[in-house]
Amino acid sequence: MHVFIIKTIVINTFFNCYNAISKVNTFILLFSLFFLLFITTVDAQYSPWITITTSDGLASNSVNVIVEDNQGTLWVGTEGGLNCYDGVTWTTFTEADGLAANWVNAI
């Protein structure tokens, strides 16, 4: 009889611990989801990213590499050539300007 009572106590203790852990895991999951939704909402209000396309002066919308030199000039390698941005204007260099190929993977 005593063994049965001890087994019952051990089993009940196990399930009580399991339920407590399960509640903690559920809380962590819900808190994480709330946090991610909050961050996404805040990020949607202010984004430091801008999109630059061919209509802005890029040779191609497919960008392979971006490098900033020590003078602050951005060099953008695309599938359509090499682009240079001095902070005001975009300049495009292609095979016609002496590039070996229009597809620029490294600068």
Q: Is residue 107 part of a domain?
A: no
Q: What is the pLDDT of residue 1?
A: 47
Nearest C-alpha neighbor of 60 from the set 96, 106, 97, 93: 93
Nearest C-alpha neighbor of 66 from the set 53, 82, 54: 82
Rounded to two decimals, what is the model's pTM? 0.55
Domain range enclosing 93: 54-97
Q: Is residue 29 part of a domain?
A: yes
Q: Is residue 106 part of a domain?
A: no
102 contacts 82 by C-beta, under 8 angstroms: no
Residue 58 shares a structural domain with residue 30: no
Q: What is the pLDDT of residue 52?
A: 86
What are 3-29's pLDDT values in tens digits? 445 545 545 555 555 555 566 667 676
Q: Which tokens belong to 62? A: 């497919």
Provide the number of structural domains found in the chain. Answer: 2
87 contacts 72 by C-beta, under 8 angstroms: yes
102 vs 95: CA distance, rounded Å: 6
107 vs 99: CA distance, rounded Å: 12
* DSSP structure class, residue 86: -
What are 72-103's pLDDT values in tens digits? 999 999 999 999 999 889 999 999 999 999 99
Residue 42 shares a structural domain with residue 69: no
Q: What is the pLDDT of residue 29?
A: 66
Q: What is the pLDDT of residue 24?
A: 62
What are 26-61's pLDDT values in tens digits? 767 666 666 666 665 554 456 677 888 898 889 999
82 SS3 class: strand
